[in-house]
Amino acid sequence: MDKNHLNNLQTCQICGVSITEKGQVNFSNGSPGTRARLYARVCKYAKRPECINQEPELIGEITAQDGYESGKGLIPSFGNTEPTN
């Protein structure tokens, strides 16, 4: 009900998302998520100083669910890339 909260909306130019005062991240598409999710999916890879979602205290704990679904397409099942040292 309190739309004034929108005054504290932060926008990350790098990641193209907006973050509310409460830490809800509004992705450009898909359902809203958390700073942790944003970090796990975007900021972690962006690694730009301009990114506003870089503070561990704000990001909090990143869980496996925050990243892209694990075990699907991320780990190649073909070709052995294990280091042999």
Give me the residues paired with residue 11 across strands.
18
Residues 18-57 that bind Zn ion (CB under 5 A): 43, 51, 53
> From the CB of 32, what's the least distance to Zn ion, in Å?
15
Pick from 40, 39, 35: which is nearest to 64 by CA? 40
Give me the residues paired with residue 34 across strands.
24
Nearer to Zn ion, 31 or 81 (CB): 31
CB 42 within 8 A of CB 75: no
Nearer to Zn ion, 46 or 77 (CB): 46
Q: Give me the residues that bind Zn ion (CB under 5 A), please.
A: 12, 14-15, 43, 51, 53
